[in-house]
């Protein structure tokens, strides 16, 4: 039976859990376009404040799941496993892309002028879990081989985020630099409308970042690399690993 050493999987999207500040409205990836700036709304006197946080949770190592448990978890997370092969290691990152903003409303005629005053961005992950099978005792050849391979995935994710985060921040700053006050009739949709371009840019950045680290992880999840790692040890069925 072929052995799949492990893969890096990113799990879904998640809203920020941080407590709101001021008149905060949180939303993810809305698609509403910017309302056109109107002559009746004067230019903003201050630039929009940006709080861009790169999230990098510590790596947690788990040695409690069996080979079967890791295979089930891998399938549950959507991993594609070739027929006849089985995973013997897994790395899961719970990715987080959150956006929140604060707006100022000024009465104008029968409505309001809306100005986006601050934006908070969370970009990265809030958990990173590495699974090594319980059948492989700590210190065994198989344990070390699996953990070393999974740590390559962790390193790829951290390096990719460190490289990509400045680009992401610059793109968000460019969006905010183009933002202008605009009129609305109701204050209920003001924050969502003001944040729409930020949401759209963050959605695009998310796709680009996932493609970046996905391609890099795929380079070490190859049959030839699996074969090289497998050749290091003899007891991949979990019996007599040492």
Q: Which positions ≥6 away from 6 have C-beta within 8 Å?
A: 87, 88, 89, 90, 91, 131, 146, 149, 150, 153, 221
pLDDT at 160: 96
Q: CA-CA distances (angstroms) from residue 202 to 22, 97, 103, 199?
A: 22, 8, 19, 5
pLDDT at 239: 63
Per-residue pLDDT of the chain (242 residues; tens, 9 = 90+): 345 555 544 443 333 333 222 223 223 332 233 344 444 789 998 999 999 999 999 999 999 999 999 989 988 887 665 545 678 899 999 888 999 999 999 888 888 899 999 999 999 999 999 999 999 999 999 999 999 999 999 999 999 999 999 999 999 999 999 999 999 887 777 888 999 999 999 999 999 999 999 999 999 988 898 899 999 999 898 765 55
pLDDT of residue 150: 95
The pLDDT value given to residue 114: 92
| Burial of 86: CB neighbours in 10 Å, binned 0-12, 13-18, 19+ | middle
Under a CB-based contact definition with an 8 Å cutoff, are residues 131 and 159 in contact? no
Element housing 205 (H / E): helix 190-218
What is the value of pTM for the model shown? 0.78
Residue 53: CA atoms inside 13 Å, Cβ hemisphere, count? 17
Domain boundaries, the chain: 2-227
Q: The tokens of 22 are what?
A: 């001021």
CB atoms within 10 A of CB 208: 13
Structure-token match 């959605």, residue found:
203
pLDDT for 81: 57
Q: What is the pLDDT of residue 206?
A: 93
CA atoms within 13 A on the CB side of 19: 2
Please write the tens of the pLDDT for every residue from 78-105: 766 554 567 889 999 988 899 999 999 9
Q: Which residues contact 228 (CB under 8 A, 6 or more apart)?
A: none
Rounded to 10 degrees, the C-alpha dihedral 205/211/216/222 comes to 160
């Amino acid at each position: 039976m072929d052995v799949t050493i492990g893969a890096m999987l990113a799990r879904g999207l998640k809203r920020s859990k941080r407590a709101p500040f001021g008149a905060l409205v949180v939303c993810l990836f809305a698609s509403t376009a910017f309302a056109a700036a109107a002559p009746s709304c004067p230019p903003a006197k201050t630039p929009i404040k940006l709080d861009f946080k790169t999230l990098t949770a510590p790596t947690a190592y788990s040695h409690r799941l069996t080979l079967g448990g890791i295979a089930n978890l891998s399938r549950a997370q959507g991993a594609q496993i070739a027929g006849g092969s089985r995973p013997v290691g897994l790395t899961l990152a719970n990715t987080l892309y959150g956006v929140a903003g604060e707006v100022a409303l000024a009465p104008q005629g029968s409505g309001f002028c809306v100005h986006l005053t601050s934006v908070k961005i969370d970009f990265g992950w809030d958990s990173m879990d590495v699974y090594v099978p319980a059948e492989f005792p700590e210190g065994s050849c198989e344990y070390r081989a699996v953990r070393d391979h999974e740590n390559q995935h962790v390193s790829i994710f951290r390096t990719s985020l460190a490289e990509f985060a400045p680009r992401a921040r610059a793109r968000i700053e460019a969006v905010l630099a183009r933002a202008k006050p605009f009129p609305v009739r109701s204050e209920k949709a003001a924050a969502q409308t003001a944040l729409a371009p930020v949401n759209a840019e963050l959605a695009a950045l998310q796709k680009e970042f996932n493609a970046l680290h996905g391609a890099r992880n795929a380079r070490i999840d190859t049959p030839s690399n699996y074969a090289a790692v497998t050749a290091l040890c003899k007891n991949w069925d979990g019996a007599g690993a040492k």
